[in-house]
Amino acid sequence: MYKKACLLFAQVDHVSGEVTGFAVGRLMELGAHNVQIISSITKKNRPGNIFIIDTDDKHEGVISEFLARELKVTGYHRIETSHIFQRVSLSKRKLGIRIKGKKIAFECEIKIIGDPSDPLSIDVEHDALVRLQKVLREHKKELSLSELKTSIEARLRAAGKEITLEV
């Protein structure tokens, strides 16, 4: 599947990290689908950033105004693209967590890439991992997001609607 899109490349310097972070959030609010930043060195050997903004025609105007007003960007490069993507669906799975013989119920959001009956990939949503990590901490159990992600995703393909996790 594909859809029409555009990438805006804006060179940004003279801004602090705090302003850069603010700008990413604001660009997303203004209609960017994604924002990536690449650190760079400008022609005068000053540190700078290249903002890559994935958006569409209808949001370009407000994004352009924001870039000029907030980041002092006087111009940018625009590349028209076709965004090629896989089918993505979201689902929920029940997760039973056993801690020291006690079972805790948790609902976990997952992203299925491809046909749900024969997925290309299955990922646990980041926000679900953060919530689960907090629940585990309340039960005096510390696991990194990476450990949780690996443990759950290893069981997703084989499991039905409920996954059991021993921690």
Average pLDDT score over residue span 47-53: 96
Average pLDDT score over residue span 16-32: 96
Output the pLDDT for position 85.
84
pLDDT above 90 for 34: yes
Domains of the chain, with CATH numbers? Answer: 2-84 (3.30.70.1380), 88-166 (3.10.20.300)
Q: How many residues does the chain have?
A: 167
What is the 8-class DSSP label of residue 141? Answer: -
Percentage of the residues of the chain whose pLDDT score is greater than 70: 98
Average pLDDT score over residue span 39-53: 93
CA–CA gap between residue 121 and residue 23 (Å, rounded): 32
Q: How does pLDDT run across 83-108, given as a tens digit for each residue?
A: 888 999 999 988 888 887 888 888 98
Query: Quick one: how far is CA 136 from the chain centroid?
Result: 23
Amino acid letter at 79? I
pLDDT above 80 for 43: yes
Output the pLDDT for position 167.
77
Confidence of residue 36 (pLDDT cuts 50, 70, 90): very high
3-state secondary structure of 17: helix
